[in-house]
Amino acid sequence: MNNLRKWNFKIVLAGPGAVGKTSIRERYMGKGFESSYLKTIGADFASKKIKTENDLITFQIWDLAGQDSYQAVRSTFYKGAIAGILVFDCQDPTTMTNLKNWLDEAIKGSNNGILVYIVIANKIDLEEDRRVSREMALEFCNRMKTETGIRFYYSETSALTGQNIQETFDFLAYKLLQANNIQDIAFPANTDGIVDLDDIEEVKKESSPIPVATQSVSGDTISLDEFKILQDRVQVIEDRLNTIQAIIKKIVEKIQEEE
């Protein structure tokens, strides 16, 4: 017991109101924890211990106490966090696109200290009302990844049925130990149902190089020669835009000099 490595990981559940953050936490750790002190700062947390042969991990899971849209109180929320779970509701695409703002806030609030980010599509039990497909979600995650350079994992859950909840937190524990350079992790990484956005990019790179000779504009196939002509024209337009940009810059400088 005494030889166990001890870890304290602060995890934040972020995302718009009513997407299921509290339900996810309750499903994972059970109901009951509530602190009026923390309520006043707009957040609430509960702890859960995970013991393995080599490690004793304490997850401190923070959840917004119903003040999801009250940004001012959230500064303490991210401080010291090492993992971020960004949750959206698969019935509502705007909750997904909103996550970019939550991500920016998490990066800033944690002082860039968050090592692992998982995006969760929640409420997947509501199959009939689902409006964000897995493909749409992965595309969104990939865009966030390109924009921020952050590595994302993606998971689909139901706090109602419990689907993928335990697996997602186990996966998080594994990734956090890995991020701390631990080699002898005494439990397997359960990656079922969890997508690593980096892998997707690899797959894309290997299996579908950008077709050059058959660039299709309006559904028709064009030859390599035609493509080259188009490419030259784009180059001409690009050069002209650069010239215009340089002229505008000069004008702006002139105006500033005169002021």
How do 116-122 and 152-156 pair as beta strands?
A: parallel
Cβ neighbourhood burial of 153 (10 Å; 0-12, 13-18, 19+)? buried
Minimum Å gap between C-beta 27 and Mg ion is: 13
**Per CB under 5 A, which region of 13-21, 45-53, 124-132, 199-207 contacts Mg ion?**
13-21
Q: Does 123 bind ligand G3D (CB under 6 A)?
A: yes
Binding mask 6-45 for ligand G3D (x = CB under 6 A): -----------xxxxxxx----------------------
Which residues are CB-neighbours of 225 under 8 A, at least 6 positions away?
A: none
Q: Does 22 bind Mg ion (CB under 5 A)?
A: yes
Minimum Å gap between C-beta 92 and ligand G3D is: 11
Minimum Å gap between C-beta 93 and ligand G3D is: 16
Lookup: tokens for 56: 């004793």
Q: Does 74 bind ligand G3D (CB under 6 A)?
A: no
Q: Which long-range contacts (CB under 8 A, 24 or more apart) does 33-38 make?
A: 38/65
Q: Report how many helices (DSSP H) and strands (DSSP E) the chain contains, helices first.
A: 9, 7
Q: Which of ligand G3D, Mg ion, none interacts with 164 (beta carbon under 5 to 8 A by kind)?
A: none
Per DSSP, the residues of 186-216 read: SS----TTEEEHHHHHHHHHHH-PPPSTT-B
Lookup: tokens for 133: 């497909």
Of 168 and 177, nearer to ligand G3D (C-beta) is: 168
Minimum Å gap between C-beta 119 and ligand G3D is: 14
Taking the C-alpha atoms of residue 164 and residue 10, their distance in angstroms, rounded to an integer, is: 20
Q: Does 73 bind ligand G3D (CB under 6 A)?
A: no
Which residue ranges make up the site for Mg ion (CB under 5 A)?
21-22
Chain residues binding ligand G3D by CB under 6 A are 17-23, 68, 122-123, 125-126, 158-160
